[in-house]
Structure 1
Amino acid sequence: MSSRFVIDRLGAQGDGIAAGEGGEVFIPFTLPGETVTAARLKDRADLIAVLDPSPLRIDPACRHFGTCGGCALQHMQGEAYRAWKRERVVQALRSRKIEAEVAPLVACEPGTRRRAAFTARRTEAGMLLGFNRHLSTEIVALEECPVLLPEIVAALPMLRALAALACGTPKPFHIAVTATASGLDVAIHDAGRLDERRRHQLADFAIREGLARVTVDAEIVIEPKKPVVMFGDIAVQPPPGTFLQATEAAEMTMAGLVAGHLSRAKRIADLFSGCGSFALRLAPKAKIHAVESDAAALAALDRGFRFAPGLKRVTMEKRDLFRRPLTAKELDGYDGVVFDPPRAGAEDQSKQLARSQVPLVAAVSCNPVTLARDLRILLDGGYALKSVVPIDQFLWSPHVEAVALLEKPRKRR
């Protein structure tokens, strides 16, 4: 049964929010000020029609928008979209009573995302490959994607054929693809047991199609060319499934902000370092201690360091910073720290930083809510917030990255 709603505002996930009997109703693909009809189910509703469109409504860039769950805001005019995304950071800070000058959003261009995680499933009609429908396990078969790098989009038919070769289950499974300097790196998960026949077929297919690497459930099936990503001028061979920033442009922007802030530091701790996207860019001018729980990522960082000329010393430590953060006493040996944790943030590590005398800190985050929490801890510990720069690398999604730069005067001893 449909009802009429007037959209008041956008929620944190980009859904329109309207008042309804019994409370707020979340309606995706709507904009503030619009009158719509929608079929309600508890606190959510499926959009049926837009009766009075917002002047900010535009035609979406992709034919799949509205069914594919990958994008939430293609229907919103660009300037308004960027302002809304910046405001997500502003509001998160304000919720922690942090009044800071937040820079304009660093925009993300279409066709720049270098990694994607697809869902695949064998059906009677053939192999499905795409993204899940909004709030559903149904797979929307992709024919285009204006977010992804063109080489990934062009590879969609090839990836469907690869999925068909790998498939040993009637259930949905996952294929993660990363564009690297040496070709596509493809990681397949939960596709069923891989027998020798299918293993050989996958290997032959990868060679024929020029893939850099194919892994199945983290096991390398074939690696004709080592996947390579560049951190500045330094080549790194990332392990299967490791974390990389979604776009190279956003990574370079973040690295530039961090390097500029820590330019006076001679000894830097890079916490949650991954494969070294910050550490290796900072190493020409400072000694770096990289701390990360993923041993394979640290090994990749180490190889990148050892084969790169002109770097100062880079040391590495495998350590779970959620369970055992660097203590204030350990941190006092550094004059700069950068940390880039997962979405959960770095609460315990921030508490130790707040007690330390590290003069320069760069906080990088993909979650404004946990970033604001961690910044509040640092501010209460005597740090001053110098700048906050929001960065868009998840185009037309509600997700936003941010880099916050802080300083603390050193105490005289």
Structure 2
Amino acid sequence: MSSEPVTAPEPVPDPAPRTPHPLSVPHFRNLWLGATISLLGDQFYLVALPWFGRQLTGSDLILGTLLMVAAIPRAVFMLIGGAVIDRFSARRVLMTTAAVRMLLVGAVAVLVWLRLIQLWELYALAFCFGVADAFSFPAGPALMPTLVQPEQLQSANALLQSSTVTTQTLGAFPAGWLIARWGVASALFFDAVSFLGVIAALLKIPDPPKAPAHARPSMLHAITEGLRTVRHDPALLALMSIFATINLCFSGPIYVGLTSLAQSQFHSAKAFGAWLFFLSGGMLVGILLGGRIKQPRRRGLQFSIMSLLAGLELIGIGLIPKFGAIAAFLALIGLGVGFVNVQFSAWLQLRVERALLGRVMSVLMFSAVGLVPVSYAVSGVLAQWSLRGLFIAAGAVLAAASVLAMSGKAAREID
């Protein structure tokens, strides 16, 4: 009787090793914890400063002027901040700005506690925070690729962005309670102490190798190099154009338009607070969902569709200005923004050469914050004409820009 030759079974390939969670990386874990504490402290500052300014002057005008005094240096110094980050390291920039903020807020808290504070000192604090923002905003994303592996970037960004949205959503209540219980100085002291967490985490992180002194270009040349990098990369340029349009069409209608709508139609600040809660809640869900996608595809198309839907949802707010409808539209806008933001942060961090990342991030941030004052001003004018017209016009511009982006090859091919 013949028998078939026995062959050894083919070896089963080992499964691909599972990517460790970013929280398993000690430096990232410590930074995330410290940053979350500091972000919570920031909410105490953001509640305390305008509240005390209103108490000091009795004028509503101070609310807008404090925001403007911070916004102008934030935009003016943003590109310089990116060049400084690439020259001296994101870690050093973050640590320096955190230490300066801690000292400034602590000093103002002492002046408030001693009842020696004057109005100009509040404006000086807002201005200095705006300058610090110009350096720290691009420094955070530029630091991330030095802490985690490329495949961990999306989850790491999701964690940090979730902390930002969560503290923004939940931080105002304890800040208000602390101010009501122990006064404005206590909230400012809390913010000052909160910086210690992120400073302690940054002290333990080593700096990446620096370029030789002779290889470092002048500051002006460094800024120009960052702008040139964006201009010569069609995908980056398309992304930043959409990003700038979103901020132009979104910032003013949300903060100017919704405030006016809450006052004129619902006669309550509670409506405005509830709408922001739905926006933040949708964003948090979007961030968590976006962070779970391991291998995202066609991110350019996703971003264009998200901005198109956001434009249509802004139009919806103008057409159906009912409390529940506005809350639903804002939650959907937040969901889309959070979902794509996580993916594009990781895409940008992987696409751009590390030596240029600070400058490219500063260009992206500038495209956002630089147009915010313009959005506020235009929205204020349009709101005087028609609140509903403000939302419809902003949504139509955003939707048209999104369709234009989808018709272009550069945005569609972002993967």
Q: Normalization by structure 2: what TM-score?
A: 0.22
**Relative to total residues, which structure has the larger helix share, 1 or 2?**
2
**Relative to total residues, which structure has the larger strand share, 1 or 2?**
1
